[in-house]
Structures are given as structure tokens and as C-alpha cells.
Amino acid sequence: MSPALLVLEDGRVFEGAPYGAVGETFGEMVFNTGMTGYQETLTDPSYHRQIVAMTAPHIGNTGVNEEDPESGRVWVAGYVVREPARVASNWRSTKSLDEYLREQGVVGIAVRGTRALTRHLRERGAMRAGVFSGDALAPVAELVDRVRRSPAMLGADLAAEVSTREPYVVPAIGAKRFTVAAVDLGIKSMTPHRMAERGCEVHVLPATATAADILAVEPDGVFFSNGPGDPATADGAVAALRGVLDAGKPFFGICFGNQILGRALGLGTYKLRYGHRGVNQPVQDRRTGKVEISAHNHGFAVQAPLDGPFDTPYGRAEVSHVNLNDGCVEGLRLLDYPAFSVQYHPEAAAGPHDAAYLFDEFCEVMGA
Amino acid sequence: MPKRTDIESIMVIGSGPIVIGQACEFDYSGTQACRVLRAEGFRVILVNSNPATIMTDPEFADATYVEPITPDIIELIIAKERPDALLPTLGGQTALNAAVALHESGVLAKYDVELIGANFDAIQAGENRQLFKQIVAKVADERGLNAESARSVICHTMADCLGAAGELGYPLVVRPSFTMGGVGSGFAHDEAELRRIAGAGLDASPTTEVLLEESILGWKEYELEVMRDRHDNVVIVCSIENVDPMGVHTGDSVTVAPALTLTDREYQNMRDVAIAVIREVGVDTGGCNIQFAVDPATGRMIVIEMNPRVSRSSALASKATGFPIAKIAAKLAIGYTLDEIPNDITKETPASFEPSLDYVVVKVPRFAFEKFAGADQTLTTHMKSVGEAMAIGRSFPEALQKALRSLEKKGSSFSWAGDPGEKQELLAACRTPHDGRLRTMQQAIRAGATVEELFEATSIDPWFLDQLMLIHEIATGITELDEPTLLRAKEHGFSDAQIAEIAGIDEVRVRDLRHALGLRPVYHTVDTCAAEFEARTPYLYSTYDEETEVPAGDRPKVIILGSGPNRIGQGIEFDYACVHASFELSRAGFETVMVNCNPETVSTDYDTSDRLYFEPLTLEDVLEVVHAELRTGPVAGVIVQLGGQTPLGLAQALKDAGVPVVGTSPESIHLAEERGAFGRVLAEAGLPAPRHGTALSVAEAREIAEEIGYPVLVRPSYVLGGAGMAIVYDEETLATYMAKAATDHPVLIDKFLDDAIEIDVDALYDGTELYLGGVMEHIEEAGIHSGDSACALPPITLGGHDIKRIRTATEAIARGVGVRGLLNVQYAMAANVLYVLEANPRASRTVPFVSKATAVPLAKAAARIMMGATVAELRAEGMLPAEGDGGTLPLDAPIAVKEAVLPFDRFRGVDIVLGPEMRSTGEVMGIDEFFGTAYAKSQAAAYGGLPTTGRAFVSVANKDKRAMIFPVKALADLGFEILATEGTAEVLRRNGVHAKIVRKQSDGAGPGGEPTIVRRILDGEVDLIVNTPFGSPGQSGPRLDGYEIRTAAVLRGIACITTVQGLAAAVQGIQHILRGDVGVRSLQEHARRLRG
């Protein structure tokens, strides 16, 4: 079997075997430390244009099933694993991961040095990379060159690429209590599901939705989802959110949505050296002091004062949640207005459900 | 929430002796706890009867009580020390039970002692099955979680049972209520079986009640390790998956971490349920574990049970993840919350996170069935393994193969040699869980079995089965030893020895070839975070991967080889010696490097040494560690003398490979172990040994035995723990023994000294000066393995003259052999002649006992001597006493009694008579001013105590009849009613002891329905049993009677004494208890008396 190569923009190369589709792919090289949930990760739109390396060695053991995808397709640009499963073993499994990746045209690679790769990214920061196999193989120098010519993540406006083109409605489960307008910047299917479970009828709108489009739904609350790319480019979404806040609607944001709120409040965003991607990150709720083990997938973060409330065009705000590992801002909250957001993923999938209470809080502010 | 300031002193209870199911993991957890509590400024009061633990080292607590873990003794300690709080969750079930007893009897309330780390209600909820089922149901109901318990129905009639079967479906578990030891339980696969089993069960149950429960046999089994703090933060430290499905105790299962066959949805549901259950149970702070079963066909999940305390699995989880559960649990108990505690390994991130693993951990159990002839070897829900090995690799095959070779037991690694056997037979064998089932499966694969066939036979998840297939494919691909083939094999965990076997060449050639190709393992760090953050704690494992992470050091290094998995004859005592060496050499300026593969131990705590390699202790693995260390600086020495036979067995090969083995040289070790050479050492020193010879055949053996005279002691050479040793009284038995013992190694035949006093000595020797550590006098006569017999220190019947002879002899042996470090010698004193039985130039099992009894750290001193210090220097430093030694203890020195603890309750059907082959799993120490009290304490610690009133049953062999008269009379005088079998009763009556005759088992019940002694024991009518064995094994009649008596004693948990010497000691003990002499004194107080 001809090999596959993982080539980083700084010239480091890992040799391995092709996994999934054969060909070439480019993206930002990131690592994910989750030990479960590869199917959810693969289908998370926030991974658009990223090559994801799994630090857990055995991937694909439970195959792929019908219920766990977080969107209609695989979004990762490329996939790096150590030990791909040869059989899929789970009562819900319908096909093997290898087959699924091939079907979806995802170029992957199995390399033994996933830990070396992670350490490399930890020391040198996220960078561009390419995976090459089959006919795409060429001398390394040329491959490095191809990687260096691929687009960078900083400054990338990607939400529109992953968002739904047409609005759609996720009906409430049981009795309807609220109408939510959810702007899809790369939304995961578990997010509207978590709201629907709580009696929300969720109107999912394209990333291009304006404040007027959003308010036209006559929502009880507005939600901005997670999504890929650099928040500094999302001027349209920021403007839309300002319109929502001006209209006095309750707001909840996740991940990219948190960054949009930050920008709407006049805060800056920045790129983390290598991001948070995994399901074990400790986040502290600063009001209660309680720690949540939470699912993360973000390469950017909001810059905000950690030492206390600060003024914004919408009144006082505060950092509501912080990451205990690196002190990074994980949540924002307006103090005089029903708007809050978190940088991590309370909808989990994959990941622990510790932060699910945030959906309850959203319902509370909509009901208030 | 910061540390509590309203408490100042905390009592910690340990877990007592090592028994099956409760081993060194609680020394690990207890040691961590004591360290934390002291570092936080609390006064720590420790109770543990096990002297071989690190936690009972005087420096780990302010007051260390090596006393029985019984409610009355603990009350004495509480009354004396007045602790503010009691932390009971780190000493296993023993400590938890003690705490419950103290709570229920009102002692805690009386002395105003607060239970911390657990509360009484939570303990009850975790332990009571019915209560726990209610909690699971409540959690499912109120929190809308997908949680349930196994469905069950209580039935009182056969009609009930048949109705319930319709509801639950077959197979069913039938459990009669309130029967002893699970009598009448069973599996019913159809109506006929149900009628039979449930019918018998209804009859057997005093309440005519049976519980029918759906069977979850063959389901996937998981365990989560959970921590909760008082702010209700909860983290899952680790998920563990059992490769062996439901039906095999977790302790006996091959397990893997993290869980490998769950989707995130299933895992998160498990996590949610675990957290909800723990909140509902009300575990305030600390670690606990919760077990689940998952139906592989439907994903239905059942909550099996939880333990509201640190467990064996927590030790495994701590080692598997680098998250020190016990240490954190101790911090949580004193008020910290998880986010306030830094993660030790990263130093920067907090403990309130869930470790992420980028490797696979496999644990495999170590069994000792060969020691217990007659024991049922089927693995069930009743744990039978005596130890375990863990290995880490970057893939399941790598970790599994490393784990199997860590077991260090012939036939445990996968093998492709010889004929695998017939497929159907192998598959049939796989149906029954047994020691080495994975290997049987691997042989079945060789014979052509498919994943489907193996799944059908074992219910093991197909993913694991496919991994076995993968290993097999790699093996069959080893045809040419080129670089890609070798690398592929190494990446999948094949040892050089396995590759050599497959390729039909020598192991050394494979190694040379591999090295020539530059194929060596790298070492990865266990960092809790899958490399997301930099790790500061050097805890390493080998793997064939890209980058090595061994940090550079600046001090000369000493590599200490540990003792591997616990087994009978090699356990915690050796770990104790290794840990001491590490502590002391680190203090003395060396960089200490520990190599071991036993997850239960203190030595594999990454806090113990400057660097820890979690590696198998094979020559290949050790050589690679040495190589890796040499690349970052000079290695001053490798210590093989402290970890027992395992590292000792590597000594010569390491030296041959150019490794600097320090201490006694491999040549000297050989000198002591090889009979002929040792005989010359003794001859030169003018020391007598029992007459002996070495035989390779039956004919030779017969000739030797005839010449030296029966009885003879026979054993294979090079053994530890007396494996395969027997006392042989006649020619026929000798021939049978020789036929069985046919090995490469010759068989040693010694004259067996009947009626001798056996003496054990531990000493230090630096080349010029001998330090006699301690002289121990066995309580049982010679012939019982020293590891199984009780002993007293200082010796109770030896005078100064005898000790002088012992000192001279020990010194001559130390000099003759060339010892540098520790030496253990066993002597037998018969007819005033001191015979040398054997000498072992290494740490012995008794080193920790002697160290504690005499307040001298022998293992630390030994380590220093190995690195070049002299006894004189150590005396000057104060490590050893300035004058005198363990042979010159003052007459008022406390007397310490060591008693062995035997696992017979685990192996029903095995005769409990002691012999030359060691079978004990652990030991306890009783220490007091007088021998009687010390002995009584040792019995209380080992077996729950001597009775002070009631009925004593006596039945002794003819040879013992004279000697038993006096102690039995004393028993009668103390008020015991004496029962005896006819022969014994006659002797007693003639000597003025009114003994009532009872029927032997072989007599059957009497005409008037008079019960036999066995019946009376089972009915709880007897409080003390004295039964010395007679006849040889396998005979019917008296021998069998004795066997049934002793078995009944084990079943009822009644004190059973099998030697006359033991009886005499027991009588003294009972006298002291009755006089109310039993007091408590800490080791620190004893030490002040001993060392001033």
C-alpha cells in the first residue's frame, strides 16, 4: 500500500497509511483530546477547514450510527488518527468509520506519532497542514509549498459556508413554551434539540440573517450558534446582534455566538495558540464558584476584563465563566439586560452535560 | 473553600493484612492520605495492623498504632489520642466497617469524633442492595435519567417463581434469602432448572423466600471512578472497561482504561447516572466507584453497585491516569474543593478536570491456584486473584502484550510455539472463564477460530476479539526479521522473546538485530492531558513511537527494580524495601528511578521516586530503561536485591550486559542459592546443615532419602515462597513427587528436622561489620513455611548464648557469601545444634516487621550500604543505633509477634493445614510488653481474635497428645468447656480435664441424632478449635475428619489452631486478655523506649 503523508507548514512530516478517502486536503491543523464522540466531532461545522488529529489512539471502534451526527455531513477537512478500528462494534452501528469517511470524501491518515504531533502544535501553535495520499503524493518540498499556499484561518469568514441556506423550524418537544430565533453560524443539531426538549420552537435562520429577519420571527429569545472561522470577520452577525439587543430581546450565544456578543459589546477577540478542543475542560461559573466539566471547540477567544463588571453600550457586563486551565474567558453576561453567552458547548455532543443548565437559564430569561 | 481550621487531629484507619481483594492499594491510598494530612499541618493518628506497609512507617503519622483494627482496640486509641476527626474511606472495606461499628456503638459520639470523607447514611446507602436499588429508581424517576437496576422479584412459593420467570425471562439468578455463604444460589436456564434450584432454595431459606433476578451474565461491564467535593463539583477520573464480561469479578477480569467500546452518548449517560447516584447517595467528599452493565444487543444499561470509598479500582485509575485519587480525596476531606487543588502533573491546571488519555492501559490479574490444590479454578463473581500487573501502551495490543509479560508467569504471554490443539476443544475451554483465558482464545485463533465463534463462546466484545486477531496476524507475518517486520511486531507489543520463539532463533539475537537497526522504544509521559499541557512529573512508559520524553537529570542515578505483581511469597514486603531504598537514596543525593508494573503499590506512585517507569520487569524491558537513562547521564547502580525473586532473577543477565548491579554481586547470589556452593561456604565456616542431597531422578532421590533418613523435605531449587515444597514421609510419596517435579532444575532433598525450633534472622553486612537486624523465633515448629508461621521478636525462648551462636554463624555466612546489604538466614535449633537451613542475600519478607519491631530502618540502611556506606558510618549518622543491634535488645523491649493471614475462605474445599509451601497472602503484627498480649493482638488482627469464654474443641495427633495436656488444662481452668474426639478425650480425662466426647464426622450422627463435631461447628456451638493434622494427604479417615473440621472452622470464621505451640501461645494470650492487660502504645512510644 502506498503511504500517506501529513505535512505541516513548518516542514514537519508524518508518514502513515491512508485512512478514509485518498487524495489531498488542506486545513488548519488542530488536535482534539476527547476519548469518545468522534462521530459528533467529525460532523461539527465548527471544524470546517480544519484537519483534526485525535489524541485518543483507537478511533472508530463503535462505527458510525444514524443518531449521533451533529449535522448532515462531515465537516473536518482532514482526519488524523493513530489506530483506526478494523471492525465496528456497537449495537447502533450501521457502518464503519472508514467507509463513512470514504463516502464523504474525507481524506485521512493513520500515523503513529499523534502525540508527537500534539506536542509539536502545543509548542509551536496551530498551523496549516495538508494530508496527501495516492496520486496527490509528491516530493516533500513541493507538498510543504502546497500547504503554505493554502488559506490561513486567521481572517477567514466561514460561517456562511457552513450555514443553512434556507430557514427551517425545529418543533418543540411537548407543549410549546417559547419561540427562539437561532442564527446558524455552524449550528450543531444537538443545540436546537436541547431547546426543543425545553418547549422551544426553534426557527433556525441562515448566517446572513439581519436583525429584521430575526425579529420577523417574533422570537421570545434569540440564539447565535457556534461556527468556524475568525470572529473578527463576522461584521454582519455583529450588526444583526446589535439590532436584536436594541430591540430588547433576550439573547443566548454559544462559542462563535459568544464572540459575536463580545464584539457587539465592543470587546476584542484573539486567536489562541492552539485552542481548546476536547471534552474535559474545567470551567468555573464565577457566580457560584462551581466547576463544570465542559466540551470545547474554539481557536479564538474574547478579550474582556476579568477583575469585575465593565461598561458596555448595553450597560454593565461581566465575565461569567472562566477556564481554570488557562484563565481564558468562557462566558459573558450583561447585568442590566437578559443576554449571556458561553464560549464552550453546553449542548455537549460530544461531551459532558454539566452545563445543560444554561438552556434552562435561557428559558427562564425568556419567561421572565 | 479553604482548608478546615476547626479540626486539628485526624485518625486514619488502614486496611490491615493483605488478603485477596484487599491488597497494597490501600497502603498506597493510606500513605498518600497521611502525607497530605501531615503536610497540611494536621496531627495524624494511624491505626493499621499490617507492619509491611509504608503508611505504618513512623514518619508518616504523629502516632502510629500497629494494633488490631477492632472496635475495642480503636476505642482505646481514640480515648488516648482524642482525635477530632476520623477519615475511614482510604482503608478499604476494613476501615469502613470499623468506622460503622464505632458509629453504631456510640464511640464516635462519646469522644466527639467527626466522621470526615464519608457519612454514615452514605455508607449504608452504598452497601445496602435494596436501599441502593431505590436510589437508582429515584434518580431515574426524578431526574429523567436512563438508569435502572437489574429487575428482580421476591418469591415465596413455586407458583410465585414460575410467574416471575414469565416476567423476567430465562436465564435467571436464584438467591435464597438468609442462607449462609450464598448456599442454594444458582442459575436457572429453563423451567426444569428453576423448579429444582428454586425448590431447594425455598427449602433452604429460613423465611421460605428466594429472590429471582434477571441474568446479566455476558453483558459488557464498566466502572467509573468519581470524585466529589463539598461544593458539589464532580469529576469522572477514569472509565474502566472489563474485557471479561459480567460474571467474572472485576478483580479477576482483564480490564482496560479508558473504556474502548462506548459511543459518547452511552458514555455520557453513564456519567450522568454516576453523578446523580453519588449525589443521591450523599457521598460528601472523596472518591468512589460505580459499576455498570450494558447489554451488548440493546445498549440497555444497569447500575450494579457503588463503593463510597477509595478502592482497588481507584488505585488502578490513579496509576492509569496520573490523577492521584487518594491524595485528592484526603484534601477534599479536610475542606478543599477540586478547583483549589493543583494538578500535580501539570502543576498549572487544577484537579477539577477529567483526565484525557492518549494511551491504553491494560490490567491483568495474577492467580495462585497452584498453591491451593482442590480449589475451583473457574472465575466467578467471587474474587480469587492474588495480584495484578498493569501496562501502558499506545495501543491495546501493545498494552495487552506488555501486561501479559508483566505477569511473569510461564505461559501467560501469547505463544505461537507447538501445536495449538483442537479448535472445538479450545473454544469449549473458552466458555468457562479461567486464568489465562485470553491465551486459550489466542490458541483457538491459531487453530482457526473466528471472531464470531469466539464471541459466541465468551461474549467478549468483538472489537477486543478483532484485536486478538490482529496480534495473531502480526505474529504469522513474522517470517523475515527485516526492519518493517520487527517494527510492526514491536509496535504491537511483541517481546524479543516472543519474536525469537516465532522466528526460531535466540532472544539475544533478536535484541542484537533490533539494536543494530536502531529499533528501541521511546518513553512517553503519563500527563493526564494527552499532551495538551506540559507535564512536570516524570512518570513514563515505553512504546514504539516517535519521540522520547525522558528528562535530563543532574545527579547520579540509581535504578531500583521493583517486585512486579503480588503473588504468594512476593508481595508488599518487597515493595516496602524498594520504596525505602528510593526515599533514602534520594535523600542521600541520588536521583532514584523506580521500575515496576504493579498498580497497587506505593512504589508505583509517581511521588515516590524521582522518576517512575511503569514497565514489565523482564530483561528486555529493564535493559531498555537502563539504556534510556544512560542517554541522559551516568547510572551509579541498579538495585536488584530489594524486589524479591523477580529482579534477583535478572541480576546475572544484567551484569553480563554491562549493567552496574550494586550490592551483593550476582556471583554471590548464586553462591547462596546453589546448594553445592553454599554447602562449601558452610563447611568452611564449620556450620552444620541438615543432611541433604540433590536429585535429578526418582532413583537418585530414593537413594538420597534412604541415606539421610525419612522424613525429608523436598523442593525444586531456585524458588521463593516454597513453591513445590513438601515434607515426605515415605518412599512412595517421594516417587510421586519426583514424577511431578520433572523440571530443568534439580530437586533438593533435606533431612527434615522434626521438633526443631525454627529461627529467622535478618542482618546487614558491609563487608566488614555485621548488624544483626533481628532474630525471630517461630511459634510453629520447623516444617511450616516461614512466611506462614507466626514468630516472635525478640525470641522468647532463646538465651544470650544462643543469640551469640546465631550472630557468629550469620557473620560467617555473610562473609563467606560476600553479602553487601541485606541477608536473611533461616536456622533450625534441634537438640541444641544450630542447623543452617538456607540463606538469602536479599531483602526478605520479614524486613518491614523487624524494622518496625526494633525501630531501625533496615531497608534504608541496606540501600546505603549497597551504594558504599558502612555500618559504622550509618551508626555515626544515627540511622543505625550507635551501639548494639537487634540481637542485643534490652530485656524490657516490647515483644512483637508476626502472624500470617491465609486466604482459605476464598478457596473453599482447600485444606487449611500449613506446610512447607507458603500460602499466606499477608501478615499482621501484634506488639506489646508481654508475649501473651502481643500474641493475642496478632490473632485479633489476623482473624478477629481469640475467644475468652465458651467451648473449645480439641482433637490432636498422637504425637501431640503429651504436649497438649497442659495448655488444654489451662483452657479448662479459664472456664472453657472442653469437647474432644474419643482418643483425645481419654488422654485429657486421665489428666484431670473433664472433656466431653463428641462424634467425629466419619462416625456420622448418633442413634439419638447426636450431631457430629462438624455439624456443631457449623451450628455455631464451638468457639475455639484445636486440631493438629495427622496422616498424610489424600488419605481417608482421620486426615479427612480433620480436613472437614478445619473447613467448617473457615466457613464459620472460628479461631482454628493447628499446632500445639500455637495452642500454648493462644492460652497465654487468652490469659492476658482476661486479666485486662491489653493496652495500646504507638510505634513512636515504642521507639523512644528502644532507641531513647
A112-126, B682-696, B733-747: segment of lowest average pLDDT: B733-747
Q: B1020 and B1039: one domain?
A: yes
- Average pLDDT (B1020-1044) is 67
Q: What is this structure's pTM?
A: 0.94
The answer to the question of residue B692 being in a domain is no
Question: Which residues does chain A have within 8 Å of residue B455's beta carbon, measured at their own beta carbons?
Answer: none
Q: Where are the domains of chain A?
A: 4-149, 159-367
A32 in a known ligand binding site? no
Task: State the cell numbers at B114.
Answer: 467527626
- Tell me the CATH number at B453: 1.10.1030.10
Q: Which of B108, B124, B140 is the last residue of a domain?
A: B124
Q: Is A347 a catalytic residue?
A: yes
Whether A66 has its CB under 8 Å from any CB of chain B: the answer is no
Q: Tell me the shortest Cα–Cα distance from A217 to chain B, in angstroms.
A: 32
What is the pLDDT, as a whole number, of residue B330? 95
A chain contacts of residue B534, beta-carbon cutoff 8 Å: 122
Domain that holds residue B1036: 931-1075
A34 touches chain B (CB under 8 A): yes
Alpha-carbon gap, residue A226 to A150, rounded angstroms:
24
CB within 8 Å of chain B, chain A residues 164-203 = none
Helix (H) or strand (E) segment spanning residue B312: helix B312-321
Domain A159-367 in this protein, CATH class: alpha beta
Other C-beta atoms lying within 10 Å of the C-beta of residue B417 = 9
Confidence of residue B329 (pLDDT cuts 50, 70, 90): very high
Q: Which CATH number does the domain housing residue B955 bear?
A: 3.40.50.1380
Long-range contacts of A320-324, Cβ-Cβ distance < 8 Å, separation of 24 or more: A320/A285, A320/A286, A320/A287, A321/A283, A321/A284, A321/A285, A321/A286, A321/A292, A322/A283, A322/A284, A322/A286, A323/A276, A323/A281, A323/A282, A323/A283, A324/A282, A324/A283, A324/A284, A324/A291, A324/B339, A324/B349, A324/B350, A324/B352, A324/B353
User: Does the annotation list B950 as a binding residue?
Assistant: no
Residue type, A314: Y
Please state the rounded mean pLDDT for residues A89-100. Answer: 97
User: Residue B379: is its pLDDT beyond 60?
Assistant: yes
This complex has an ipTM of: 0.97
The residue out of B168, B195, B214 marking a domain boundary is: B214
| B555: amino acid identity, one letter | R
Q: How many independent structural domains does chain B possess?
A: 5
Q: Do B547 and A115 touch (CB under 8 A)?
A: yes
Q: Each residue of B38-88: pLDDT tens digit?
A: 999 999 999 999 999 999 999 999 999 999 999 999 999 999 999 999 999
| B473 lies in the same domain as B589 | no
- Three cell numbers at B1091? 532507641
C-alpha cell at B422: 483442537
Instruction: Flag whether B819 is in a domain.
Output: no
pLDDT exceeds cutoff 90 at A225: yes
Are B935 and B1039 within one domain?
yes
B310 to chain A, closest Cα gap in Å: 22
Same domain? For B528 and B611 the reply is yes
**One domain for residues B71 and B188:** no
Q: How confident is the model at residue B593 (pLDDT cuts 50, 70, 90)?
A: very high
Does the annotation list B745 as a binding residue? Answer: no
Same domain membership, residue B193 and residue B112: no
Residue B665 lies in a domain: no
Quick check: is B207 in a domain?
Answer: yes
State whether residue B540 is helix, strand or coil.
strand
User: Is B687 within a domain?
Assistant: no
**pLDDT interval class at B1037 (50, 70, 90):** very low
> Looking at B482, B516, B550, which one is the last position of a domain?
B516
- C-beta atoms of A35 and B547 within 8 A: no
Question: Is B280 annotated as a binding-site member?
Answer: no
Mean pLDDT of A199-216: 97
Say which residues have a Cβ less than 8 Å from residue A214's Cβ, sequence separation at least 6. Answer: A181, A183, A205, A222, A240, A243, A244
**Which residues on A lie below 8 Å from B529 (Cβ)?**
33, 280
* Contact B2/A at CB under 8 A: no
Tell me how crowded residue B434 is: count the other CB atoms within 10 A of its CB.
17
The answer to whether residue A57 neighbours chain B at the CB level (below 8 Å) is: yes
Residue B319 Cα, gap to closest chain A Cα (Å): 18
- B785 annotated as a binding-site residue: yes
Task: Determine the distance in angstroms separating the CA of A333 from the nearest CA of chain B, rounded to an integer.
Answer: 22
pLDDT digits (tens, 9 = 90+) for B825-873: 999 998 889 999 989 999 999 999 999 999 999 999 999 999 999 999 9
Q: Does residue B116 sit in the same domain as residue B167?
A: no
pLDDT at B812 over 50: yes
Mean pLDDT across chain A = 96
Task: Share the mean pLDDT of chain B.
Answer: 91
Distance from CA of A22 to the nearest CA of B (A): 23
Strands B85-87 and B9-13: parallel
Spell out the SS3 assignment of B1047-1079. HHHHHHCCEEECCHHHHHHHHHHHHHHHHCCCC
User: Is B838 among the annotated ligand-binding positions?
Assistant: yes
The domain spanning residue B109 has which CATH number?
Answer: 3.40.50.20
Give the best residue of B232, B269, B532 to mutate against chain A (max A CB count within 10 A).
B532
The answer to whether position B669 is within a domain reads no
User: Which 3 state secondary structure label does DSSP give B632?
Assistant: coil
The pLDDT value recorded for residue B959 is 80
Domain shared by B1015 and B1046, yes or no: yes
Same domain, residue pair B23 and B100: yes
Position B1031 pLDDT exceeds 70? no
CA distance linking residue B896 with residue B848, whole number of Å: 12
DSSP per position, B662-700: ESS-HHHHHHHHSHHHHHHHHHHHT-----EEEESSHHH
A31 to chain B: which residues are within 8 Å by CB? 532
Q: State how far the Cα of B278 lies from the Cα of B123, in Å rounded to an integer.
A: 11
* Residue B1065 contacts A, CB cutoff 8 Å: no
The answer to whether B356 contacts A33, with C-beta atoms less than 8 Å apart, is yes
DSSP 8-class letter at B1009: -
Q: Looking at chain A, which residue has its C-alpha nearest residue B548?
A: A116
Contact A304, A319 (CB under 8 A): yes
B786 domain-assigned: no
Same domain, B564 and B492: no
> Among A89, A116, A351, whose Cβ lies nearest the Cβ of B461?
A89
Instruction: Note the pLDDT tens digit of each residue in A300-322.
Output: 999 999 999 999 999 999 999 99
Query: Is B460 contained in some domain?
Result: yes
Distance CA B1054, CA B1068 (A): 18
Confidence band of B496 (pLDDT split at 50, 70, 90): very high
What pLDDT score does B1035 carry? 39
Of A28, A201, A347, A363, which is the active-site residue? A347
* Mean pLDDT score, A210-217: 97
Count of C-beta atoms within a 10 Å radius of residue B868 = 12
Per-residue pLDDT for B1032 more than 50? no
For residue B915, pLDDT beyond 90: no
Residue (of B395, B558, B409) closest to B470 by Cα position: B395
Q: Which residue of B has its CA nearest to A67?
A: B265
- Cβ-based contacts of A328 with chain B (< 8 Å): none
Report the chain B residue with the minimal C-alpha distance to residue A68: B265
What's the gap in Å between the CA of A212 and the closest CA on chain B? Answer: 38
> According to the model, what pLDDT value does residue B717 have?
67
Distance CA A74, CA A84 (A): 17
Q: How high is the pLDDT of residue B1036?
A: 39
pLDDT recorded at residue B709: 87
Q: Are residues B82 and B183 in the same domain?
A: no
Structure confidence by residue, pLDDT tens digits, B945-960: 889 999 999 988 888 8
Q: Is CATH 3.40.190.80 the right assignment for the domain spanning A4-149?
A: no
- Mark whether A345 is an active-site residue: yes
Kindly identify which residue of chain A lies nearest to residue B351, measuring between CA atoms.
A282
β-strands A50-54, A24-32 pairing = parallel
For residues B992 and B1022, state if they share a domain. yes
The span from the CA of A36 to the CA of B266, in Å, is 10
DSSP one-letter string for A99-151? HHHHHTT-EEEE-STHHHHHHHHHHH--EEEEEEEGGG---HHHHHHHHHHSP
